[in-house]
Chain A
Amino acid sequence: MALRQLLTRNTAEPSSTRLVVTLGIAGLLSGLAIVGIYELTLSTIADNKARELREAVFKVLPGVSRFQKLVYAEGTLQPAASQASGEEFIYAGYDANGAFVGYAIAGEGPGYQDTISLLYGYKPAQRRIVGMEVLDNRETPGSGDKIQKDPEFRENFRALAVEPKIIVVKKGTKPKPNQVDAITGATVSSNSVVSILENTNRRWLNRLPPAGTEPPLAADKP
Chain B
Amino acid sequence: MTASALQELHKGIWKENPVFVQVLGMCPMLAVTNSVINAIAMSLATFFVLVGSSFLVSLCKDLIPHQVRISCYIIIIATFVTVADFTLQALLPAVHKELGAFIALIVVNCIILGRQEAFASKQPVGLAVADAVGTACGFTLALVCLGSIREILGNGSLFGIGLFGPHFEPWVVMILPPGGFITLGLLLLFFNWLQETRRQRRATAQPSADEGVTAG
Contact = CB atoms under 8 A, between A and B. Distances in A.
B117 to A, nearest CB: 16
A140 B176 contact: yes
B65 interface: yes
B72 A141 contact: no
Interface stretch (A33-41, A104-112, A187-195): A33-41
A22 B154 contact: no
A142 B86 contact: no
B89 A141 contact: no
Contacts of B100: 138
Contacts of A8: 62-63
Contacts of A155: none
Contacts of A9: 62-63
A26 B72 contact: yes
A23 B71 contact: yes
Given A34-B82, A37-B87, A142 B175 contact: yes
A82 B3 CA distance: 60
Contacts of B175: 141-142
Interface of A is mostly: helix
Contacts, number: 71
Contact of B67 (A19, A141, A143): A19
B172 A30 contact: no
Q: How large is the interface on A (under 10, 10 to 19, 20 to 34, 35 or more residues)?
A: 20 to 34
Given A41-B86, A48-B90, A33 B172 contact: no
Given A30-B75, A30-B78, A141 B176 contact: yes
Q: How large is the interface on B (under 10, 10 to 19, 20 to 34, 35 or more residues)?
A: 20 to 34
A14 interface: yes
B68 A37 contact: no
Among all A-B residue pairs, the 8 with the closest Cβ atoms: A44-B90, A41-B90, A142-B172, A30-B79, A14-B65, A41-B86, A48-B93, A26-B75
27 contacts: A9-B62, A9-B63, A10-B65, A19-B67, A22-B63, A22-B65, A23-B68, A23-B71, A23-B75, A26-B76, A27-B75, A30-B78, A33-B79, A33-B82, A37-B87, A38-B86, A41-B86, A41-B87, A41-B89, A41-B90, A44-B90, A48-B89, A48-B90, A138-B100, A140-B176, A142-B170, A142-B172
Interface of A: 7-10, 14, 18-19, 22-23, 26-27, 29-30, 33-34, 37-38, 40-41, 44-45, 48, 52, 136, 138, 140-143
